[in-house]
């Protein structure tokens, strides 16, 4: 984790959880000695689960990034595609890291290309793909993940550019991009 991961809100929530956990630990000393270790285990388990869950929720609402001017350009010379644009921090806290997930889909369904093999492709032998090395498999979806920004301050933006291979057998591709910041 980056040094800028925790905002003041994260720290306050962790302090409150720590104080409550400490108070429950003190109360468990006053309980019968037979149930001390189960109470201690439950206290630690609930504290860790609550802390992790609340950090994820706080990230969702305090660290907000937005893609701007996203453009894609296919480079035929080396069968790649380049995505470029800007990431803007629209939240009030510093974003420690933003990941761009790009999903390329071959032949998205529409009324003209709706055929049986587009809806259902038998894949019984895919269960044993580790046994049979099929080098001719051509997946219809390809997904890549890129870290495009680190330590982006509030209300600032940074340009980015990422390149990825474009499968040469794709005929009518569609791009889906998602931004995940924390």
146/110: higher pLDDT: 146
Which is more confidently placed, 5 or 96?
Answer: 96
Separation in Å, CA 84 to CA 8, 74, 116, 140: 32, 12, 36, 24
pLDDT per position as a tens digit, 147-179: 998 988 888 999 999 999 988 888 877 888 999
Q: What is the pTM (predicted TM-score) of this model?
A: 0.72
3-state secondary structure of 76: coil
Tell me the pLDDT of the chain averaged across its residues: 83
What's the residue count for the chain?
182
Give start and end residues of each alpha helix (H) in the chain. Answer: 8-29, 36-62, 116-119
């Amino acid at each position: 984790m980056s040094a800028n991961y925790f905002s003041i809100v994260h720290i306050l929530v962790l302090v409150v959880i720590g104080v409550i956990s400490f108070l429950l630990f003190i109360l468990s000393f006053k309980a019968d000695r037979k149930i001390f270790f189960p109470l201690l285990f439950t206290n630690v388990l609930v504290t860790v689960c609550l802390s992790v869950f609340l950090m994820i929720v706080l990230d969702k609402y305090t660290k907000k990034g937005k893609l701007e001017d996203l453009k894609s350009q296919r480079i035929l010379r080396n069968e790649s595609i380049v995505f470029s644009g800007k990431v803007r921090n629209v939240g009030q806290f510093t974003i420690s890291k933003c990941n761009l997930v790009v999903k390329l889909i071959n032949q998205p369904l529409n009324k003209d290309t709706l055929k049986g093999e587009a809806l259902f492709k038998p894949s019984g032998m895919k269960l044993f793909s580790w046994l049979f090395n099929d080098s001719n498999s051509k997946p219809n979806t390809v997904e890549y993940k890129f870290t495009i920004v680190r330590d982006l301050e509030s209300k600032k933006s940074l340009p980015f550019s990422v390149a990825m291979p474009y499968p040469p057998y794709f005929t009518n591709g569609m791009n889906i991009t998602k931004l995940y910041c924390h």
